[in-house]
Chains A and B, each alone.
Chain A
Amino acid sequence: EVQLVESGGGLVQPGGSLRLACAASGFTFSSYDMHWVRQVVGKGLEWVSVIGTNGNTNYPGSVKGRFTISRENVNNSLYLQMNSLRAGDTAVYYCVRGAYSGMDVWGQGTTVTVSS
């Protein structure tokens, strides 16, 4: 079964850091682009980052310079290092597999709360 399982969410103070992890199984992890997408409760979806099969990365302006996506193909793992966290980063964070023209497999999400 193709599966993505996120972990690492929690409560962090403004200005703090958090590292999310995603464990992939059931497919050849190294062959896919991988994304992080977040969603504020009750609001829409926001793409957060992508890492290609070649290790190239991209971010929207809202997180660029604060968030770093990385992958370990040997462990079938995806990571998101989040620094200088703000209240506006509070959201459910999804690990997502990128297919040819869509995001075809989603994890269940992990909740990040930035609050003092």
Chain B
Amino acid sequence: DIQMTQSPSTLSASVGDRVTITCRASQSITSWLAWYQQKPGKAPKLLISKASNLESEVPSRFSGSGSGTEFTLTISNLEPEDFATYYCQQYNSWTFGQGTKVEI
């Protein structure tokens, strides 16, 4: 089974910061990686597919990069509504990372 490891688990940041979350796969998944945002009490929301494709209506301050086994999600100029938990997911066998909570 492909394992996904996210880091950090928690990230403290301020409005206006640039933050980066890393996701590593235990074996190559080429670009089959998605990123999700989840706010408390809500279902996750797809932000990025195929490692770097921004979904429609997702603000351009979100970006994704990487291929193979190492991927990053970057949020530039953090907004108050961006404080949430972020998950990566490999789309070969659908495993999720353990999540990264972005908090103030």
Count contacts on A: residues with CB < 8 A to the other chain: 20
Cα–Cα distance between A98 and B46 once the two chains are bound (Å): 11
Whether A45 contacts B96 by the Cβ 8 Å rule is yes
Cα–Cα distance between A94 and B44 once the two chains are bound (Å): 10
Cα–Cα distance between A35 and B43 once the two chains are bound (Å): 14
Which residues of A are interface residues toward B (Cβ below 8 A)?
35, 44-47, 50, 58, 60-61, 94, 99-104, 106-109
Closest to B45 in A: A106
Cα–Cα distance between A44 and B44 once the two chains are bound (Å): 11
Q: Is the interface of B mostly helix, strand, loop or mixed?
A: loop
Q: Which residues of B contact A100 (CB under 8 A)?
A: 49-50
Which residues of B are interface residues toward A (Cβ below 8 A)?
1, 31-32, 34, 36, 38, 43-46, 48-50, 53, 55, 87, 89, 91, 93-99
Whether A104 contacts B46 by the Cβ 8 Å rule is yes
**In the complex, how many angstroms separate the beta carbon of A41 from the nearest chain B beta carbon?**
10
Whether A101 contacts B50 by the Cβ 8 Å rule is yes
What are 21 contact pairs spanning A and B, CB under 8 A?
A44-B87, A45-B36, A45-B44, A47-B89, A47-B93, A47-B94, A47-B95, A47-B96, A58-B93, A60-B1, A100-B50, A101-B91, A102-B89, A102-B91, A103-B46, A104-B46, A106-B43, A106-B44, A106-B45, A107-B43, A109-B43
Q: Which residues of A contact B87 (CB under 8 A)?
A: 44-45
Closest to A47 in B: B94
Q: Which residues of A contact B99 (CB under 8 A)?
A: 44-45
Cα–Cα distance between A58 and B55 once the two chains are bound (Å): 26
Whether A108 contacts B43 by the Cβ 8 Å rule is yes
Closest to A95 in B: B43
Cα–Cα distance between A115 and B31 once the two chains are bound (Å): 41
